Amino acid sequence: MQNDISVFRLSNGLQVLLKEIHTTPIISQWIWYRVGSRNEKPGIRGISHWVEHLQFKGTEKYPIEELDQTISRVGGIWNAMTHLDWTTYYETLPAEEIDLALDLEADRMQNSIFDEKEIAAERTVVISELEGNENEPLFHLNSAIQAEAFHVHPYDHDVIGTLEDLQTITRDQLFTYYHNHYHPANAILSIAGDFNAAELKNKIERVFSSIPGESVAGEQIPPEPPQTQEKRIELKGPGDALYIQISYRAPRAHSREFFTVSVLDSLLAGPSPLVMFGGGGISNRTSRLYQALVEKDIAVSVNGDIQATIDPFLHTFILTLNPDADPLKALQTFDDEIKRIQQEKTAPQEIERAIQQAEAMFAYGSENITNQAFWMGYSSIFAEYNWYDNYLQSLRSVTSSDIQALAQEHFAFQNRTVGTYFPTQEA
């Protein structure tokens, strides 16, 4: 893939990645900002996601009453996402409308209005979203585990933020945050589709070069100290299922260990999709934890999750137990499988199957133009764009010895936080 990507940077700092794909007359444009919940401090937790909402509330050139129709009227789709390390906006639309997509994102990079009435309306929206999430057992459990696992690093809270901060964040704080983070030197523009890269480069320079490039001060993100003992939490709440979440401190994406953990994840629970959309369709029935827990009627389901992040985050397993299952037995069964992968070399054919499943998941998540544009920018947030190109090769380089050695370190009791959610049967 990397051989046909055009990579350049404008004088104002905007990083650009272009990939020509002439299979269909569409383009997908993504603009990425290096800002997410990782950049938030107490008092403004949830501000990154809120700013994302306000980017859809209009500029003078694209007022709110017209903005929503701007892309749909030409047959396109658009959306946005906020995550731990990034915020991104995308448009997928007919190739001849690329000028519209470029102009729209260049305009709202610098000219979003932040109207007081819209801020008040979105305060209600994001608080309602938070309250809705908190009624979901797994959100409640995961948020509690994040807060317990991180006491120094800002990965300690969910992207949606906290109620106390969402109630008090001001318009000045929102606009200042936007001004500080939404500028070319803090952005990546990744575009894939039916275009001529040389011609598109000229258009990008014409549209974006006049935007001032702010200096990017090195934001000091405090590292989380190593965990020295196992942490456990118990929650009770409405629901009809008992959940156990086991989260281990995980390596950052830009490390060799990340790929070994990815293979471990696939061996134990089936491959994780890595991205917020795409992927799927891969059964985890051959995974060790499925066979030990689901096949034995201890759990209804078992899932793993490993995310590519700038700083070390979490490698998580979620067990949904059968109604009559003993949670202590479920956790002991889980630990027995962990001990087995620590003490015994994994057979080459089992590693091969796990890697093939991870490869298939990766392929499903990168098969269309929108996803390919996504991957270029996404990889550039925490590594370089060619992290995507090298992903499969990196998985293939993992050996049985790598797996056993890292399992002994990674799955240490003192490296994990265990949470149990007990349903109260209350609706």
Cβ contact 311:254 at 8 Å: no
| Alpha-helical segments (H) within 8-136 | 47-54, 64-72, 98-110, 116-134
d(CA 288, CA 344): 13
Pair (177, 281) in one structural domain: no
pLDDT in tens, 241-278: 999 999 999 999 999 999 999 999 999 999 887 665 55
Evaluate whether residue 221 is within a structural domain.
no
Cβ contact 9:178 at 8 Å: no
User: How many CB atoms lie under 10 A from the CB of residue 72?
Assistant: 11
In this predicted structure, the answer to whether residue 183 has a pLDDT above a threshold of 90 is: yes
Pair (161, 245) in one structural domain: no
Structure tokens at 104: 């729209």
Evaluate whether residue 226 is within a structural domain.
no
In this predicted structure, the answer to whether residue 283 has a pLDDT above a threshold of 90 is: no
Evaluate whether residue 108 is within a structural domain.
yes
pLDDT category, 217, cuts 50, 70, 90? Answer: low
| Residue-level pLDDT at 427 | 47
Evaluate whether residue 222 is within a structural domain.
no
User: What dihedral do alpha carbons 86, 91, 95, 98 form, nearest 10°?
Assistant: -80
Pair (196, 319) in one structural domain: no
Tokens 């066979």 -> residue: 291
Mean pLDDT of the 30-39 span: 98
What pTM was estimated for this model as a whole? Answer: 0.95
Query: What amino acid occupies position 320?
Result: T
Which residues span the domain enclosing 202?
Answer: 2-208
Name which of 109, 80, 72 is nearest 374 in CA terms.
80
Pair (292, 389) in one structural domain: yes
Evaluate whether residue 123 is within a structural domain.
yes
Percent of the chain with pLDDT over 70: 96
In this predicted structure, the answer to whether residue 1 has a pLDDT above a threshold of 70 is: no
Pair (29, 125) in one structural domain: yes
Pair (235, 174) in one structural domain: no
CATH number of the structural domain spanning residue 103? 3.30.830.10
In this predicted structure, the answer to whether residue 141 has a pLDDT above a threshold of 60 is: yes
d(CA 386, CA 176): 33
Evaluate whether residue 412 is within a structural domain.
yes
In this predicted structure, the answer to whether residue 65 has a pLDDT above a threshold of 50 is: yes
Pair (164, 249) in one structural domain: no
Evaluate whether residue 417 is within a structural domain.
yes
In this predicted structure, the answer to whether residue 206 has a pLDDT above a threshold of 60 is: yes
Pair (157, 284) in one structural domain: no
Pair (300, 370) in one structural domain: yes
pLDDT category, 281, cuts 50, 70, 90? Answer: low
pLDDT in tens, 296-336: 999 999 999 999 999 999 999 999 999 999 999 999 999 99
Angle at CA 361, nearest 5°, toward 365 and 319? 115
pLDDT category, 3, cuts 50, 70, 90? Answer: low
d(CA 274, CA 279): 8
Pair (56, 191) in one structural domain: yes
d(CA 207, CA 16): 13
Average pLDDT across the chain, whole number:
94
Pair (248, 397) in one structural domain: yes
Pair (180, 258) in one structural domain: no
| Residue-level pLDDT at 366 | 78
In this predicted structure, the answer to whether residue 11 has a pLDDT above a threshold of 60 is: yes
Mean pLDDT of the 209-219 span: 82
Mean pLDDT of the 113-121 span: 97
Residue 79 bridge partners (DSSP)? 90
Q: What is the CA radius of gyration of the chain?
A: 22
Evaluate whether residue 214 is within a structural domain.
no
Instruction: Output the CA torsion sign for 195, 196, 202, 204.
Output: positive
d(CA 251, CA 306): 10
Q: How many domains does the chain have?
A: 2
